[in-house]
Amino acid sequence: PILCVCVCVCVCVCVCVSCRDSCQRGWRLLYILTAFHRCSDVMKPFLLRFLQDACDSPGMPYQGIAKACQENLKRTFQYGGRIQYPNSMEIKAILAGRSSKRQLFLLPGGIERHLKIKTCSVALDAIEELCSEMGLQRLEALDEYAVFLVTHRGKVWRFCCRGT
């Protein structure tokens, strides 16, 4: 936790410097950190304020990624940080400025849907989006669905949402 605080402070300083390349890399590193690590309770208000100021500053060139970092941090506190660290392909994509990918979902009846999955997306996000597309708006409808993940080796994982 101490190391993470030190890294966050260093990244916050880095994104404030005028060197565009360093600033951009700093924001991308902060994007990764906010997806994987909870900051300490002591650091949280300062980091939230830093991100809020970056989002609210008119003309700030990195408002988009600041907002994404803010969302990552919110989700990290809500669901816990990501357990699986990003693989080299995901790191390269993030460093190139791409923070989402299109993921194929197979629905009953052979229907294929591609959803935009971000660094901090959870199974509930996919279920909510699919239910919305099907016109199911009631919260009870979400309880009827789960996401199954089938790996290349045929292993099946079931992800339930909302305590079911």
pLDDT, tens digit, 9 for 90 and up, residues 100-152? 889 888 888 888 899 999 888 888 888 889 888 888 888 887 788 888 777 77
User: How far, in Å, CA of 161 to CA of 104, rounded?
Assistant: 19
The predicted pLDDT at position 52 comes to 92
**CATH class entry, domain 2-95:** mainly alpha
Backbone angles phi, psi at 79, to 5 degrees: -110, -10
Q: What is the mean pLDDT of the chain?
A: 81
Report the percentage of the chain scoring pLDDT > 70.
82
- The lowest-confidence range among 11-15, 27-31, 56-60 is 11-15
Assess contact for 58 and 50: CB atoms under 8 A: no
pLDDT band at 68 (very low <50, low <70, confident <90, very high): very high
112 against 81, higher pLDDT:
112
pLDDT band at 164 (very low <50, low <70, confident <90, very high): very low
Q: What tokens were used for 35?
A: 């997806």
pTM (predicted TM-score): 0.75
Most confidently predicted of 67-81, 82-96, 128-142: 67-81
β partners of residue 116: 102
For range 1-28, the mean pLDDT: 68
